[in-house]
């Protein structure tokens, strides 16, 4: 049997759940996820879980925030004056925005509050601070 190791390109089907059992992502209704082990293309705990799996093996792993989407960082929540936004943009609570950065890469933020002339933005990953569980099936190893 083929065992997944660093440098291999692998394909996996997976389902991600929160601690309450809610599914937040799954590849089961689409193509399997393909990535190279050791390439840093997926969260660290997911990559670690796949490393050493045998072709056809199913594994379930619980990942703390440090191995998943990171701890929640309060310094990534900032208040911005509405006047700093383009005139044609009216931020709404719950909306996702992309803020252009100096390096050209957009920063994804969530609008978490709009109050008076202040907009509160959160640049944390939506799953930052959560322990997550992945069920992973290794379907290909190259």
* pLDDT string in tens for the chain (142-residue length): 689 999 999 999 999 999 999 999 999 999 999 999 999 999 999 999 999 999 999 999 999 999 999 999 999 999 999 999 999 999 999 999 998 889 989 999 999 999 999 999 999 999 999 999 999 999 999 9
CATH architecture of 74-122: Beta Barrel (2.40)
Burial class (CB in 10 A: 0-12, 13-18, 19+), 111: middle
Within the chain, all domains assigned CATH 3.10.50.40 are found at 9-70+127-141
Distance CA 13, CA 76 (A): 32
CATH architecture of 9-70+127-141: Roll (3.10)
pTM, rounded to two decimals: 0.87
Distance CA 96, CA 88 (A): 16
Within the chain, all domains assigned CATH 2.40.10.330 are found at 74-122
């Amino acid at each position: 049997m083929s065992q997944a190791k660093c440098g291999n390109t692998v394909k996996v089907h997976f389902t991600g759940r929160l601690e309450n059992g809610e599914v937040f992502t799954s590849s089961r209704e689409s193509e399997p996820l393909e990535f190279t082990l050791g390439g840093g293309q997926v969260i660290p705990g997911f990559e670690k879980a796949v490393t050493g799996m045998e072709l056809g093996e199913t594994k379930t792993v619980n990942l703390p925030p440090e191995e998943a989407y990171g701890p929640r960082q309060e310094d990534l929540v900032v208040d911005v004056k509405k006047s700093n936004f383009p005139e044609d943009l009216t931020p709404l609570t719950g909306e996702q925005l992309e803020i252009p950065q100096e390096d050209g890469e957009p920063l994804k933020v969530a609008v978490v509050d709009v109050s008076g002339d202040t907009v509160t933005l959160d640049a944390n990953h939506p799953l930052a601070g959560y322990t997550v569980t992945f069920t992973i099936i290794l379907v290909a190893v190259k």
